[in-house]
Amino acid sequence: MLNTVLLVDDSATARMVIKRCLEIAGLYDTTFLEGRDGKEALELARQHKPELILSDLNMPIMDGASLLMELKADSELRAVPVVIITSSQNEALVDELVDVGAFRVISKPVTPASIADLLKELEQEQ
Amino acid sequence: MSATKATIAEAVERALGTTLETMAFEQAIPVDGPLECEEEMYWANLPILEPYYGGVSFITCKTGANMLVELVHGPPEDEGLPPEILFDTFAELINTLGGRFMSELVPDDVSFKLGLPQTGRSDAQAQGDVAYSGVFQIDEYKLVVTVTGAGFKSLVNETK
């Protein structure tokens, strides 16, 4: 059971779709925080200490890769699993993000099934 | 080895189907005939930067655009849809459609790079070399998907 999940995307529609998938996958009682870019997300993460962060890759102000690096450099947040969501396909980039500490890199569109798999993996690893 | 996993038409059909099923819980059925519309048109475009330079776009009439947004977000609670929600929805739809289209088209070991979504309203037609244009029925409205760019056009010529 995840109490707090942070969703990061500059698109309100994308955040709504991801939230809907998480709810369908079983997170009915979770509190969802929403950030529009990496900088806003970092402030929310420091304030609320979410148990999972799902972030878009391409965003203005601070992108998902920079957010990931900031989170992994923060001693209080580095253990929080970060899932990067992207519409591009680039194996080298995926390897790079995983090397930096991304829990998973998943492709759009996010579906309830892909989120359910993700939550199962998360549970198994913890 | 083939340069692509599917034809452009197949890749568009699969990508649009996946995008609409997951985001709008709706099907897209390929149909014949032009998009006839007497009202304002709404469009979205996604530049594709690598490995082929070009773009994928869709266009529909105002009532079709409103219907699409309502399918994604649900009916508006009060006074209709704010334009920013419509354009935000269109941007996310084309972003997802473009990504799925390229995933369906290029082999899994080939990287691709996308630009930033653009949206607008007008009766503007797709610019540049049109490699593909298809009309789809979504609910009771039509939507036209177009793929442009010399790189994509050369793929069409290769498969002829």
Q: In 3D, which of B107, B117, B109 has the Cα closest to residue B19?
A: B117
B129 C-beta neighbours (distance < 10 Å), count: 15
Which of chain B's residues have a Cβ under 8 Å away from the Cβ of A64?
Answer: none
pLDDT of residue B56: 96
Q: How confident is the model at residue A89 (pLDDT cuts 50, 70, 90)?
A: confident
Q: Are A13 and B92 inside 8 Å of each other by CB?
A: yes
The ipTM (two decimal places) reads 0.88
Q: Which of A12, A58, A89 lies closest to B111 in CB terms?
A: A89
B20: nearest CA partner in chain A: A109
Which of chain A's residues have a Cβ under 8 Å away from the Cβ of B104?
Answer: none
pLDDT of residue B1: 39
pLDDT of residue B83: 82
Q: In 3D, which of A59, A53, A21 has the Cα closest to residue B91?
A: A59
Q: Which of B89, B111, B113 lies closest to A13 in CB terms?
A: B89
Strands (E) in chain B, as ranges, are 29-31, 41-50, 54-61, 113-114, 118-121, 130-138, 141-148
User: Residue A93 and residue B57: Cα distance in Å, rounded?
Assistant: 26
Q: In 3D, which of B79, B47, B84, B101 has the Cα closest to residue A11?
A: B84
Flag whether residue B144 sits within 8 Å of chain A, measured between CB atoms.
no
* pLDDT mean across residues, chain A: 94
Q: In 3D, which of A19, A71, A73 has the Cα closest to residue A49?
A: A71
Arithmetic mean of pLDDT, A61-69 = 95
User: Residue B116 and residue B101: Cα distance in Å, rounded?
Assistant: 15
Tokens of A1: 């059971």
Which of chain A's residues have a Cβ under 8 Å away from the Cβ of B71?
Answer: none
The pTM score is: 0.91
User: Residue B59 and residue B36: Cα distance in Å, rounded?
Assistant: 11
User: Per-residue pLDDT for A78 more than 50?
Assistant: yes
What is the percentage of chain B residues whose pLDDT exceeds 90? 62
Which of A7-11, A82-86, A122-126 comes out lowest in average pLDDT?
A122-126
Residues near B11 by Cβ (< 8 Å), separated by ≥ 6? Answer: B4, B5, B101, B102, B104, B105
Flag whether residue A116 sits within 8 Å of chain B, measured between CB atoms.
no
Q: Is B59 in contact with B68 (CB distance < 8 Å)?
A: no
Flag whether residue B5 sits within 8 Å of chain A, measured between CB atoms.
no
User: Residue A124 and residue A81: Cα distance in Å, rounded?
Assistant: 13
| DSSP sequence for B30-53 | EE-S----SS-EEEEEEEEEESS-
Flag whether residue B100 sits within 8 Å of chain A, measured between CB atoms.
yes
Q: Which ranges of chain B have pLDDT less than 70?
A: 1-2, 123-127, 157-160
Min Cα–Cα distance to chain A from B145, Å? 18
Q: Are B85 and A13 inside 8 Å of each other by CB?
A: yes
Flag whether residue A107 sits within 8 Å of chain B, measured between CB atoms.
yes
pLDDT of residue B126: 59
Question: For residue B133, what are the β-bridge partners?
Answer: B146
For residue A109, is the peptide bond before it cis, meaning its omega torsion is within 30 degrees of 0? yes
